[in-house]
Structure 1
Amino acid sequence: MFDIRQYTDNDTDSTAWNDFVALSKQGTFLFDRHYMDYHRDRFSDYSLLFYKKGKLYALLPANIDGDTLWSHQGLTYGGLITNTHATTAEVCTLFEELNAYLHDHGIRHVVYKAMPWIYQQLPAEEDLYAIFNRCHAQLMVRNVSSTIEQDRALKWRRIRKYGADKAEKEGIRVVQDDSAYADFWQVLTDNLLHTYQTRPVHTLAEISRLHDAFPDNIRLYVACLDEKVIGGTLLYITSQVAHAQYISATPEGKHLHAIDAIYRKVLTEDYRDCRYFDFGISNEDRGRYLNEGLIYQKEGFGGRAVCYDWYSWNVE
């Protein structure tokens, strides 16, 4: 039924890919080739295009690592991208034929990072049914994020409201500032190195290039005291979700509740009309460790659990 073809890095495939993403049920800017290709030096791209009767039917953003196909190792989520014409029966057939294609090309394992439902513009879980019943996929990783449905936002815990009030009294100013990336990246890097002995996934140069490519989708909010950045959050904005990609503060910023001040502006003013606000996961060790302090803070703003799941199966 399907003609499966590997993505080629040329204008024809790039245009076809991006045009399909823009009209799909799962389309976010993370699947735009200008975003996906920023780390092409780190991941060996193995994205696939599925054609039915000569027309593009679906996409699979993916990379290959040894004999394992990932969808996608370098993205927060991956999974099959479809439009409104996709049906459950056809998607089941697609995955059966995908397995045969992968087997013929020496790929023996798949890791599938399913898109959380909050990002789907229409119901789009045909893939979850298909990978379970046709590929015998098993749940590999379950991370938990904290999400607010803005039309039914819960009241903040008293400590979060107190923190925002305290920050205001201390003279902290919150602004959306596209010129503050270097200052915030220093705050973020210092915090990650001190707390987790790690660095941001993106370098300053990478995130600056991505912001230049997607200025409406990547927005930086910072908290300033006497013109000094003491905290911030980097938001990824998609059609119905504002997602906190990074959140960080200096020791002084933490003491003065800079993050509470930032989210008062973000949640109650600038993104009040966004359908969902997603704080991101609060896990380490592939979901096995829950950072209770971190998730307590997010739940204090009214966030409640949405899972980010990975599935895996053997190609037979």
Structure 2
Amino acid sequence: MGFFISRYSNSEKKLWNSFILNCKNSHFMFHRDFMDYHSDRFEDFSLIIMNENNKIVTLLPGNVHKNVFYSHQGLTFGGFLMDKNIHAVDVIEIFDEVKDFLKINNIEKIIYKPVPVIYHQYPAQEDLYALFRNDAQLSRRDISSSILIEKGYNYSKSKQWSINKARKGGVSCKPIEQPSDLWGVIRAVLKENHQTSPVHSEAEIDYLKGKFPENIKAYAAFYQDEIVSACVTFESINVVHTQYLACNRLGRELRALDMLIDYVIAASSDYATIFDFGISNENNGRYLNNGLISQKESFGARAIVYDLYSVDLV
């Protein structure tokens, strides 16, 4: 058929955003207002692929660093964002042409993070077959835990006991308008338990909330007017994903996080089909935090994977 590849430019923002509204594996993180909020940290190298009729058939969010193309380092996942009418043979051809385009631009390797299947609005794994055809190496696999809430869900007896304990102990939960109001708890817990900081600053998370009010939500568990547990969700068309979960020492004694998660799941079940807790891995997927994944599974969650592939171009 023949496809035409070009680098994204700011003048094509409206075109880009219009396409992702209807592609079959869309997510609000691919909106340029989200991708560009940290553009100073990454050299954008996103690609637009058009057919011979000058119609976009797929987009590829990406950045380059040291002659490596990533899809995309600033996003949890990326990969080809595909039109519903695209065919497998098209994606195979597009992948070959993207490789040639990148090699012309002195790119030596592709690091590719496909959109996990739970975020597909329509079957969209043509890219995985193209990766196989190009001898891609699976270099990382993280295990996440999801609940198919549209089918109902069951907690373990111990989890239900914890939720009742928190409720009887005077814990209450409610939505929070400004996510940054939770950053005191989130920062303290991440520093104490993991010696890290939130990926987003207070200003960044509030900016993103302002841009995507229906996609980013915040919740808190209170005890005597004090925030003891926090949750921030990133929400796509079908999936509610817990981007941040945190609970301070008092909250842990009260089992406040369990009650808060139950509150968020119940609220999400009105409009979402899947509740995703996120990964339980460290060391590039090689270490499984058994305690962490057990907590998620006690809510009825089971495994899906987030993959990362590499393709050498030289």
Give TM-score, length-normalised by structure 2.
0.97
Structure-2 separation of matches of 1:311 and 1:95: 14
Structure-2 separation of matches of 1:199 and 1:220: 18
* Counterpart position of 1:166: 165
Q: 1:226 to 1:240 in 2, by over 3 A?
A: same
CA contact (8 A) 1:187 1:230 kept: yes
Structure-2 separation of matches of 1:182 and 1:203: 8
CA contact (8 A) 1:139 1:311 kept: yes
* Counterpart position of 1:16: 15
CA contact (8 A) 1:191 1:250 kept: yes
CA contact (8 A) 2:180 2:203 kept: no
CA contact (8 A) 1:221 1:233 kept: yes
CA contact (8 A) 1:150 1:272 kept: no
Superposition CA RMSD, Å? 1.1
Alignment of 1:36-185 (within 5 A): 36-53=35-52, 54-133=54-133, 135-179=134-178, 181-185=179-183
* Counterpart position of 2:6: 5
Structure 1 residue ranges (4+ consecutive) displaced by more than 3 angstroms after TM superposition: none
CA contact (8 A) 1:242 1:271 kept: no
Structure-1 separation of matches of 2:180 and 2:51: 47
Give TM-score, length-normalised by structure 1.
0.96
Deviation at 1:170? 1.1
Structure-2 separation of matches of 1:112 and 1:273: 30
Residue identity (%) = 38
Structure-2 separation of matches of 1:269 and 1:136: 43
CA contact (8 A) 1:79 1:114 kept: yes
Structure-2 separation of matches of 1:306 and 1:42: 29
CA contact (8 A) 1:184 1:232 kept: yes
SS in 2 for 1:247: strand
Structure-2 separation of matches of 1:225 and 1:285: 36
Structure 2 counterpart of 1:243, one-letter code: H
* Counterpart position of 2:34: 35
Alignment of 1:192-211 (within 5 A): 192-211=190-209
Deviation at 1:183? 3.5
Q: 1:198 to 1:213 in 2, by over 3 A?
A: same
CA contact (8 A) 2:150 2:269 kept: no
Q: 1:230 aligns with which of 212, 228, 231?
A: 228
- Structure 1 unaligned residues grouped into runs of 5+: none
SS in 1 for 2:155: coil
SS in 2 for 1:223: strand
Deviation at 1:272? 4.5
Aligned residue pairs: how many?
A: 312
Deviation at 1:270? 4.1
Structure 2 counterpart of 1:6, one-letter code: R
Deviation at 1:182? 3.2
* Counterpart position of 2:216: 218
CA contact (8 A) 2:79 2:115 kept: yes
Q: 1:120 to 1:270 in 2, by over 3 A?
A: closer
